[in-house]
Each structure stands twice: as structure tokens, then as C-alpha cells.
């Protein structure tokens, strides 16, 4: 691979990890744009790039990668000139077609992972889903993605939306439940780390078992005494009773329907 000239639009959690991976795999990061100067500077520094906070100063490149919060696409894109080059976004839930008014060459490169700036990640293990407006552009994206990941797959926008939703359940909602567990423990002065072997094993189990086969606990057994005892305890401590109730019911319903 010769390496492409890439401009990064966005320097958040995803932008940082993706730009570094692309830089490390032999591409040239021509410029980093972010509305936040600090973020732009931080990332530019790590990938040997220049940076700007001004949409009018975005430079020419082979590929423009949009890695911003989904809600700012519409404010940002009309103000940048992409020179009709390959314009790529990285969002799970935004259709390929939103880019068509901004360039005649466009695509999606969606790495399925939770990105926090300071975490080291093995990018090659991350599945990357690509889609483009024509085969030629899709080949460019595949080449780019193969440079950073061992798991590059084609996926259309409507399926990618559901992939993203599944990731919200399996990651964002899961992490929130870790957070609530931590809060509950904190209220009783029990350190969070006692849960780590359980969290690790819960995640490890589904590598070799279907998740519905790995389910344990009071809700799947429908141990009503325990469920009511937990709801009462949460009610008295003033938190999370309703969430507990709703998720327990969802578990119960799932296995009822299965029989």
C-alpha cells in the first residue's frame, strides 16, 4: 500500500484511535480539523499533522474522514469543501446517503468498538464495516481498513443501524449497569473490584456459549422471593428499583417465550 493523504474531521475518542491506527499503517494524516483547538492540537501532534479549527482552512486530500458526534454533521459538512474527493463517515447509525450532497465519492468505515482516549487498543482485532457509493470507492475503503484490521466486512446502512443498536445494548447499557453496580456497592462501602472476576467471567462465557444459554440469577430461575427482596431493598435505599423490575421482567419474559 502506498498510503493515502487523509484529513480528519473530528478529534474525539474515535477520531484519536482511528487516526493513529491509519497513521501507523502507513497513511499520511494531512490535517486534523476540530472545533475544539485543544483536541485538534492533541491529535495532530500524535500523527505528525497540521491542525485547524476553521472549516474554511481544511486542505486538499485523497480522503476526508468524518469522526464527529452524529448531531453536528449537518452544521459542519456544508461549510467544508471536500474537493469531490472520497468522503467517509464512521457512524453506526447514519446512512451512507447523507454524504451524497457533499461529494460524488463517499463511503462509510465503521469500527465496532468502545473508544476512550487513554485506552490502548489492538485495532487489528476490531471489526470494521465498510460501504461505499461504488465498487471503486469500496475497494479504497477495504484497502484502508485492511491496513488496520483483520476483520473487514461489507455492511449496508440499514443493517449497520441494527448492528449499532446491538452494540448499545452489549456495551453502553452494559457499562451503565457496571456503573449502577458500583454505586450500589459504594453505598455499602464495598469496593468495586470485588465484582471484577464476575464481570470478566460474564463476558468470557459468551465467547463459547450463546448468551441465552449463559443466563443465571434470580430472574431466569424466577426466584420470586429474591426478586421481591431486591426490589424492596432498592426501594428503601431510594434507587434503581424500577430498572431492576423492568429488566428482571424482560429476562423472565424472554425465557417464558422460549419454552
Which of 93, 104, 146, 157 is close enough to bind a copy of itself by CB under 8 A?
A: 93
DSSP 8-class letter at 201: H
Residue 253 near a copy of itself by CB under 8 A: no
Looking only at residues 186 through 225 of this chain, which bind a copy of itself when binding is defined by CB under 8 A?
187-190, 192, 194-203, 205-207, 209-221, 223-225
Q: For the stretch 164-178, what's the b/e string if a residue is b when 16 or more beta carbons lie within 10 angstroms of its beta carbon? A: beebeeeeeebeeee
Of the pair 5, 215, the CB lying nearest a copy of itself is at: 215
Q: Interface with a copy of itself by CB under 8 A: which range of 58-66, 81-89, 96-104, 111-119?
A: 111-119
Residues 115 and 122: their CA atoms lie apart, in Å, by 11
Residue 157 near a copy of itself by CB under 8 A: no
Of the pair 37, 211, the CB lying nearest a copy of itself is at: 211
Residues 223 and 251: their CA atoms lie apart, in Å, by 12
Kindly write down the DSSP assignment for every residue of 88-137, as one continuous string.
EE--SSS-GGGGTTT-SSEEEEEE-S---TT----GGGSEEEEEESSHHH
Number of residues forming the site for a copy of itself (CB under 8 A)? 92
Residue 59 near a copy of itself by CB under 8 A: no
Q: Is the dihedral of CA 251, 256, 258, 259 positive or negative?
A: positive
Looking only at residues 60 through 79 of this chain, which bind a copy of itself when binding is defined by CB under 8 A?
69-71
Of the pair 1, 119, the CB lying nearest a copy of itself is at: 119
Residue 176 near a copy of itself by CB under 8 A: yes
Which of 119, 134, 136, 139 is close enough to bind a copy of itself by CB under 8 A?
A: 119
DSSP 8-class letter at 33: E
Of the pair 13, 83, the CB lying nearest a copy of itself is at: 13
Q: Which of 16, 22, 13 is nearest to 149 (CA)?
A: 22
Amino acid at each position: 500500500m502506498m498510503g493515502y493523504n487523509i484529513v480528519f474531521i473530528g478529534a474525539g475518542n474515535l477520531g484519536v484511535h482511528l487516526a493513529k491506527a491509519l497513521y501507523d499503517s502507513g497513511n499520511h494524516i494531512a490535517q486534523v480539523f476540530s472545533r475544539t483547538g485543544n483536541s485538534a492540537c492533541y491529535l495532530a501532534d500524535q500523527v505528525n499533522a497540521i491542525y485547524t479549527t476553521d472549516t474554511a482552512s481544511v486542505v486538499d486530500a485523497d480522503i476526508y474522514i468524518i469522526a464527529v458526534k452524529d448531531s453536528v454533521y449537518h452544521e459542519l459538512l456544508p461549510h467544508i469543501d471536500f474537493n469531490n474527493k472520497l468522503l467517509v463517515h464512521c457512524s453506526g447509525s447514519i446512512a451512507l446517503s447523507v454524504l451524497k450532497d457533499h461529494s460524488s465519492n463517499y463511503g462509510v468505515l465503521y469500527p465496532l468498538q468502545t473508544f476512550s482516549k487513554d485506552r490502548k487498543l489492538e485495532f487489528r482485532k476490531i471489526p470494521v464495516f465498510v460501504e461505499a457509493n461504488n465498487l471503486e470507492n469500496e475497494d479504497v475503503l477495504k484497502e484502508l481498513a485492511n491496513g488496520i484490521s483483520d476483520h473487514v466486512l461489507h455492511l449496508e446502512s440499514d443493517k449497520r443501524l441494527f448492528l449499532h443498536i446491538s452494540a448499545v445494548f452489549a456495551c453502553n447499557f452494559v457499562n451503565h449497569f457496571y456503573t449502577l453496580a458500583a454505586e450500589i456497592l459504594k453505598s455499602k462501602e464495598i469496593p468495586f473490584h470485588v465484582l471484577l472476576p464476575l464481570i470478566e467471567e460474564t463476558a468470557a462465557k459468551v465467547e463459547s456459549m450463546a448468551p441465552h444459554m449463559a443466563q443465571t440469577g434470580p430472574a431466569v430461575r424466577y426466584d420470586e422471593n429474591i426478586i421481591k427482596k431486591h426490589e424492596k431493598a432498592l426501594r428503601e435505599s431510594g434507587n434503581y428499583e424500577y430498572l431492576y423490575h423492568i429488566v428482571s421482567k424482560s429476562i423472565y419474559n424472554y425465557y417464558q417465550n422460549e419454552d
